[in-house]
Chains A and B, each alone.
Chain A
Amino acid sequence: MEAQTLYEKLWSSHVVHQEADGTALIYIDRHLVHEVTSPQAFEGLKLAGRKPWRVSSIVATADHNTPTDHWEQGIQDPVSRQQVETLDSNIREVGALAYFPFKNERQGIVHVIGPENGATLPGMTVVCGDSHTSTHGAFACLAHGIGTSEVEHVMATQCLIQKRSKTMLVRVDGKLGKGVTAKDVALAIIGRIGTAGGTGYAIEFGGEVMRSLSMEGRMTVCNMAIEAGARMGFVAVDQITIDYLKGRPFSPRGDDWERAVAYWRTLHSDEGARFDQLVVLRGEEIQPQVTWGTSPEMVVPVGATVPDPAKENDPVRREGMERALQYMGLTPNLPVTSIKIDKVFIGSCTNSRIEDLRQAAVIARGRRKADNVRQVLVVPGSGLVKRQAEQEGLDKIFVAAGFEWREPGCSMCLAMNADRLEPGERCASTSNRNFEGRQGAGGRTHLVSPAMAAAAAIAGHFADVRDIL
């Protein structure tokens, strides 16, 4: 048999029906649901008199609108509250394999709770009305974001209409240096191929660096595949994947576990499999990264200076750079480490897992945030992450450093709840998008790793985490 890529294996194992032109019906194993992109889908289903095809595929939670403090007061914003209550009533009516509502101890960001509960398993197709569904590709899943019409389509038919993507292998060879993390790998890849570099592709992340990353690290890289334009990114199964999944609430048990593991071990690209495109990075060359502009591709190593649009030849790109610098309140050729910050956000589906919090805590331990930093939010990805962090005493380290230890949720990654930047405020953020207004109208976002965010909180400006470690 011809050598297959992981993508081809995952794709062909889910084709229900295929037309002559390649348009296929793809079966969906897991449907993650949150409050923002589902209400219109539930309503559409009801209006058409349709029943959900398989409710046991649904895992739901409320994460985007939920507050991260004063849970005893409930959700203050009536519009947010209505959206969360709409999810409550829709799930009550329709059912689900699991629902982790607001205040539930296992509630959290949908892309954190899926894996930590073993609801994301290798070989699955995983979809959600959320572009960061690519995160689940860390488990060798075909996982991607969909719009609300497709949310309704999956509810009604358990399938999606799709065509095969092109394949790209991003290989990160060698080893990462001290203080360089999965987030820096993700940003370095985006810096290399651009935010549209992966458009039309399914990206497999491979190489020694990816193999050495924990599942948390792999999730961070796959999470940001969409920031490189690729709807999905994934990593082959290995012992690290299998060890992570053993014993999780929805992981298989007993004979099923053995049977599943035997299958999962086949979920890798075969020797000699051909990709449509290959990108190679050296781990040793990746430095801690900081974005300077309003697109994740506007990124430089921490030791660099803010780029100069005058050196850009393409007029549309040059204008884009100038506009970004103006929005960000920066001037060309400024050293990145001289940029002072007002706020820090440690959290989001990119960087809110236990390992992320540990990386930040290593920097925060025994230190204190700089006086010019008004607020440092630490928002764990889920109730379970929060509990574990507290068992490890990380919350105390953060609080002693002047950071705020919050309840889980999406929080200031997109500022749908009360956590947001004010106009002109500058933030070192572990989230995934530095778009204009993303963290609040007029807010200025610099994307960094959790360790770099903590280092910036301590220094009051961007600082090379390697000088602190």
Chain B
Amino acid sequence: MQKFITLNGLVAPLDRNNVDTDAIIPKQFLKSIKRSGFGPNAFDEWRYMDRGEPGMDNSQRPLNPNFVLNQPRYQGASVLLTRANFGCGSSREHAPWALLDYGFRAIIAESFADIFFNNCFKNGVVPIVLPKAEVDALFGLVEHSPGYTIEVDLPTQLVKRPDGHAVHFDIDPFRKECLINGWDDIGLTLRHADKIKAFEERRRAEHPYYFA
């Protein structure tokens, strides 16, 4: 996993509640057996005027001028700013894969859906929950200042605005450590292999019918 320590990035706004994983990456692209290459199809139905299918040359497709991420001023954004319950819907990890492949390393929202939130951490994408008032303020600042960037400092757990205003965000200490070090969960868990084996043997003895 890619490490995440600090990020100073352009902010792109997506001013909606309940952005679901079907919107983030439509189902036809889930047929891929790879982990990469989903970026050009992130938000496909909102982003393009035609109907996207796997295998298309996305650079030739007509862009929807009304979709906010298509505006020139937001090209190269690495921080996505959005509203409540972002990532609701399915468990498809293709959603964070698509956002990461698009270029987003941090997502700031009022709240996230549980499975999506969890999936972000496995991919070096930092989901940051900020109070509604802070999110409201950021939407205003982004809209009125083209090229608006913010800094995400994971070790100190701060989102720093260019005007000096900094907001603290909460993050699970274990997940933070994994992100900062780029650790692989499986390797960490396998340090406890003996405990897993012992647990499994006890369980097999007590509930043999779960091991049929």
Kindly identify, within residues 245 to 289 of chain A, every residue whose CB is under 8 Å from any CB belonging to chain B.
250, 252, 256-257, 259-260, 263
B-side contacts of A372, CB under 8 Å: none
Q: Indicate if the CB atoms of B212 and A19 lie closer than 8 Å.
A: no
Q: Indicate if the CB atoms of A16 and B196 lie closer than 8 Å.
A: yes
Name the residue of chain A whose CB is nearest to the CB of B189.
Answer: A157
B-side contacts of A231, CB under 8 Å: 114-115
Q: A152-B186, A435-B20 given. 16 additional CB < 8 A pairs?
A: A16-B196, A21-B172, A27-B199, A37-B92, A79-B55, A146-B118, A147-B91, A147-B96, A149-B119, A157-B193, A199-B85, A231-B115, A295-B88, A316-B17, A416-B28, A435-B22
Q: Within the complex, what minimum Cβ distance (angstroms) separates A112 from chain B?
A: 17
Q: Indicate if the CB atoms of A37 and B22 lie closer than 8 Å.
A: no
Give the size range of B's interface with the partner. 35 or more
Complex Cα spacing A131 to B22, Å? 12
Question: Which residue from B15, B30, B55, B93 sits with its C-beta under 8 Å from A316?
Answer: B15
Q: Indicate if the CB atoms of A131 and B90 lie closer than 8 Å.
A: yes
A-side contacts of B93, CB under 8 Å: 37, 40, 129, 147-149
Interface residues as binary, B158-190 with A (CB distance below 8 Å gives 1, 0 otherwise): 000000000000001110000000000110111
Among B72-80, B144-152, B201-209, the stretch that binds chain A is B201-209
Question: Which residue from A86, A121, A435 sits with its C-beta under 8 Å from B33?
Answer: A86
Q: Indicate if the CB atoms of A441 and B26 lie closer than 8 Å.
A: yes
B-side contacts of A319, CB under 8 Å: 15-16
Question: Which residue from B33, B113, B115, B188 sits with its C-beta under 8 Å from A146?
Answer: B115
Q: Indicate if the CB atoms of A163 and B17 lie closer than 8 Å.
A: no
The reply on A29 being an interface residue by CB < 8 A is yes
Complex Cα spacing A148 to B119, Å? 8
Q: Within the complex, what minimum Cβ distance (angstroms) separates A383 from chain B?
A: 22
Complex Cα spacing A263 to B51, Å? 53
Name the residue of chain A whose CB is nearest to the CB of B135.
Answer: A316
Complex Cα spacing A36 to B32, Å? 8
A-side contacts of B115, CB under 8 Å: 131, 144-147, 226, 231
Kindly identify, within residues 55 to 96 of chain B, every residue whose CB is under 8 Å from any CB belonging to chain A.
55, 83-85, 88-93, 96
Complex Cα spacing A174 to B106, Å? 47
Q: Indicate if the CB atoms of B92 and A50 lie closer than 8 Å.
A: no
The reply on A376 being an interface residue by CB < 8 A is no
Known: A21-B174, A195-B88, A229-B85. A416 touches B33 (CB 8 A): no
Complex Cα spacing A414 to B29, Å? 12
Q: Indicate if the CB atoms of B173 and A229 lie closer than 8 Å.
A: no
The reply on A156 being an interface residue by CB < 8 A is yes
Name the residue of chain A whose CB is nearest to the CB of B1.
Answer: A149
Name the residue of chain B whose CB is nearest to the CB of A79.
Answer: B31
Name the residue of chain A whose CB is nearest to the CB of B112.
Answer: A199
Question: Which residue from A157, A416, A436, A437 sits with its C-beta under 8 Å from B190?
Answer: A157
Question: Which residue from A36, A80, A159 sits with its C-beta under 8 Å from B189?
Answer: A159
Name the residue of chain B whose CB is nearest to the CB of A297.
Answer: B18
Interface residues as binary, B10-29 with A (CB distance below 8 Å gives 1, 0 otherwise): 00000111101011001110
Q: Indicate if the CB atoms of A159 and B207 lie closer than 8 Å.
A: no
Q: Indicate if the CB atoms of B45 and A436 lie closer than 8 Å.
A: yes
Interface residues as binary, A198-236 with B (CB distance below 8 Å gives 1, 0 otherwise): 011000000000000000000000000010011100000
B-side contacts of A159, CB under 8 Å: 189, 192, 196
A-side contacts of B118, CB under 8 Å: 146-147, 150
Complex Cα spacing A144 to B90, Å? 11
Name the residue of chain B whose CB is nearest to the CB of A162.
Answer: B118
Complex Cα spacing A451 to B58, Å? 42
Question: Which residue from A43, A158, A438 sits with its C-beta under 8 Å from B196?
Answer: A158
> Can you list 8 A-B pairs with a CB-CB distance of less than 8 A?
A25-B196, A29-B210, A131-B90, A131-B91, A156-B186, A196-B113, A436-B22, A441-B26
B-side contacts of A161, CB under 8 Å: 174, 185, 188-189
Q: Indicate if the CB atoms of A16 and B22 lie closer than 8 Å.
A: no
The reply on A461 being an interface residue by CB < 8 A is no
Known: A159-B196, A196-B111. A435 touches B189 (CB 8 A): no
A-side contacts of B47, CB under 8 Å: none
